[in-house]
Amino acid sequence: MSLYLIWNHMAIPGDSEHQWIERVKSEGAVPLLDPYNCSNGWASPPGECFMVRGPKYLTTKVKIPGGESLLKPLGFDWIKGSTKITEVLKNRKSRVRKVIDEAFPNGDKPFVWAFNLQVPGKENYSAVAYFVGTEPIPEGSLMDQFLKGDDGFRNSRLKLIANIVKGPWIVRKAVGEQAVCIIGRALSCKYCFDEQFLEVDVDIGSSMVASAIVHLAFGYISMLTVDLAFVIEGQSESELPERLLGALRFSDLNPACASLYEPSPLGSTDNLQSSLPTRLWKSIGQGFSQLLHPVPGAQENGFTSDTAHVNGTSELKEGCEDSKKWILNLLIADSVTFTNESDGYGISGQDPRPPVTCKRKG
């Protein structure tokens, strides 16, 4: 791979900018909508929805609003396949890759970032967020180091901020407010590089805690509004304040509306993925064993538990100490369903969730 080509292709070529970007944004199964009215759609939430490390975070622990992202939103895919979905942008049959190849037949393509969140389960769902760079990357910047560095560096720096904007109390409680995770420490990540893109395939099923949370949340996905932001963590004063790479909001997704993904004949597949119940309950058994017989000083890497201050207020990040709570919530969710009563969710034998249709808007 030529890094020279990457730096020269970070800026969007101007001639066909609007047409191809609009195609990527609008042609997916999930429509692009307004951030404040995006039921059954996706949107780009304001950066102020996320708190990131401020310029003096290392000494003050003060966080600040995220502000404008370094990358521009490009698209969102809600897809499912016969096997675990990997290397989407490497597949010339994939929706976004086809649009880019058609728009730039001579090879002068923009550089695209993709974050493929692989949902654990036998249905092989993936939520894929796409972003594009509009400016060349400054030499020596965190983005520059991230692209030039090895997987060890990337695993230690790529951070996910997640927030449940709307949803059942039990899901919001399990995820927490502004949950922060160093993705590569908590989950298995695969970095797929090309001269025109970087794709991060994130295997959520590789973590006991993440699997439990997603299993709980997936049953209510048609009721959830979720904000996600990706950040390269600043670990020294010269790398602060942090900047958002990109942010995404999706709302009220319907599993039945996911597009069927056609894998590349030459693409990699993972046919060894076991079903969710087997992996999940095996993980829970291991989790309870760890809770009953903890290893001194042990915790699941990546889920931070240090105390941060947001605008001067002490805030304890979601950490591994919450694993027991999440697992207990999962057990409750597997035993009963929940109805929307008053401020919480009451126990019921019926599923109160309304049906969701897959109608495109506009």
Annotated domain spans of the chain: 3-336
The whole-number average pLDDT for the span 106-114 is 91
Which backbone phi and psi does 160 adopt, to 5 degrees?
-115, 130
pTM of structure: 0.76
Nearest CA-CA partner of 160 in 142, 135, 191, 186? 186
The whole-number average pLDDT for the span 87-116 is 94
Give the model confidence (pLDDT) of 18-34 as tens digits.
Answer: 799 999 999 999 999 99
Give the model confidence (pLDDT) of 217-275 as tens digits.
Answer: 999 999 999 999 999 999 999 999 999 999 999 999 999 999 999 998 764 444 434 34
Give the model confidence (pLDDT) of 117-170 as tens digits.
Answer: 999 988 999 999 999 998 899 999 999 999 999 999 999 999 999 999 999 999
**Of 166-175, 197-206, 263-272, the least confident:** 263-272
**pLDDT of residue 302 exceeding 80:** no
Question: Which amino acid would we find at residue 361?
Answer: K
The whole-number average pLDDT for the span 195-213 is 94
Name the CA radius of gyration of the chain, rounded. Answer: 20
Q: What's residue 11's pLDDT?
A: 53
**Of 95-99, 107-111, 123-127, the least confident:** 107-111
pLDDT band at 176 (very low <50, low <70, confident <90, very high): confident
Which of the two residues, 286 and 237, has the higher pLDDT score?
Answer: 237
Q: How far apart are CA 288 and CA 276, in angstroms?
A: 18
Cα dihedral 276, 282, 288, 293 sign: negative
Give the model confidence (pLDDT) of 310-353 as tens digits.
Answer: 544 333 343 344 444 544 444 444 433 333 322 232 323 333 33
Q: How far apart are CA 101 and CA 92, in angstroms?
A: 8
Average pLDDT score over the chain: 79
Q: How far apart are CA 360 and CA 328, in angstroms?
A: 38
Helix (H) or strand (E) holding 249: strand 244-251
CA 197 to chain centre: 17
Q: What's residue 265's pLDDT?
A: 76
% pLDDT > 70, the chain: 69
